[in-house]
Amino acid sequence: MPNEDVRVAVPIGERQYHIGLGPGELSDYILLPGDQDRVERVTARFDSVERTHRHREFASATGTYKGLRISCVSTGIGTDNVEIVIAEILALVERPTVIRIGSCGALQPGMELGDLVISTGSVRLETTTNWFVHEGYPAVAHYEAVLALVEAAEGLGHPHHVGITATAPGFYGAQGRTIPQLPIRYPDLAYEMTRQGILNFEMEASAVFVLAGLGGGRAGVVCAVYANRRTGAFVEGEIKNQAEAAAIDTGLESLRILAQLDRQKSMAGAARWRPSLWTPS
């Protein structure tokens, strides 16, 4: 076994270097938007706001939503930023539940701008997670998070698709987008992902799944379709606002549902939730 490095980057029980948060300032139930400005749109839905904070490019807030204490921490763009945020959350919260609320590009027929995509897992096109796990290690959503997201989207009436995502390490060449000034190695990447039944491209899900799971947490991802890679259409105006709102509301409701599942498990003395425990409220 290698010797422990005493220069610990994420000290347990201290204020974290990047997100700037300390013990007790995060809930066990956390939304992870990429865009730091989206944190304000989340807190606008809170019944009350306990605290807000900005440090470096990371915005955060904690408050109450329908009686549940919830936190929101922006990750920025990409799995490298997700690594920082998840690591520092794990230093503050023993077993966090995290739900990414983001945007994506749709690959399959029948997917429309503004629809939601609930990821059951993700193709690890990025390499950030390779520093933690074997290349063949799967990036899989927690089944309870998937169920809660589906229940939330259904209850809110938002069109949604459920399946496998591809997490890319970039927006342009890394997703097979042609760049006039630059060569790209895999111009057929979007076609190949589509042929393999992948629903969408985005840039964070696989790291959320792998790192939260390794740390003993529970993770889910819901993304609004901002781009249709089959037609080239891109969301704008009111449709974009509605799509973002759908992802936020679905994420919030999924956390409320997960807290309800946790109470039902506790009452039943069960380690894992199962359908026979369900009591809607």
Residue positions annotated with a catalytic role: 18, 88, 177, 229
Mind spelling out the 3-state secondary structure of 113-132? CCCEEEEEEEEECCCHHHHC
Among 135, 105, 54, 59, residue whose Cα is nearest residue 235: 105
Residue 67: is it exposed, middle or buried by C-beta count within 10 angstroms (0-12/13-18/19+)? exposed
3-state secondary structure at position 21: coil
Strands (E), 8-85: 29-33, 48-55, 58-65, 68-73
Q: Which residue is associated with the tokens 């629809």? A: 115
Residue 15: is it exposed, middle or buried by C-beta count within 10 angstroms (0-12/13-18/19+)? middle
Euclidean distance between CA atoms 102 and 90, whole angstroms: 21
